[in-house]
Amino acid sequence: MQNYDVIVIGAGPGGYVAAIRCAQLGLSVACVESWSKENGKPALGGTCLNVGCIPSKALLESTHHYSYLKNDAADHGINISGASMDVNKMIARKDKTVQILTQGIAGLFRKNNIDLLHGRGRITAQDNSGHYLVAVSPSSTADEETITASAKHIIIA
């Protein structure tokens, strides 16, 4: 069983920032995250970065550019004919934006020696020394291997 000063459950905007800051302050840190990419590998950043705020804003920015060309550019003396949307390129740009940001968080985890525990974290007990035990299950099925880690402090983010 691995022991840490801090285990952060959740690697969304609150969790990854908390994990990085704790590590910068010299604490040993693990971060538990259940989010997975399509290939099954861990994805940092939570819902906001992977499917929420960031992807939707990336797509909105593309549609704003298109709307400007169709509706407002002529007011500035810019005449564009034949402007069209390539939805596949818009989605590829959105995916690249998400990839760059998630890789940035992963790089900060590596730089600050933060262990990423991929799975769902559950606080199971507190031992006699006051350390919390956290079970990390790779999925909701009971037959997969669960690992246990301990920490003096837990942050649920």
Place of tokens 């037959």: 143
Decide: 18 and 157 in contact? Cβ < 8 Å.
yes
- On whether the pTM is more than 0.85, the answer is yes
pLDDT digits (tens, 9 = 90+) for 109-151: 999 999 999 999 999 999 999 999 999 998 655 556 899 999 9
The single-letter code of the amino acid at 38 is E
Domains and CATH numbers, the chain: 2-156 (3.50.50.60)
C-alpha span between 28 and 39 (Å, rounded): 29
Task: Report DSSP state, residue 26.
Answer: T
Half-sphere exposure of 125 (CA within 13 A, CB side): 5
pLDDT at 140: 52
**How far apart are alpha carbons 24 and 107 in whole angstroms?**
14
Residues in the chain, pLDDT under 70: 139-144
d(CA 15, CA 47): 12
- Per-residue model confidence (pLDDT) at position 41: 82
- Cα–Cα distance between 142 and 46 in angstroms, integer? 24
DSSP secondary structure, 95-106, as one string: HHHHHHHHHHHH
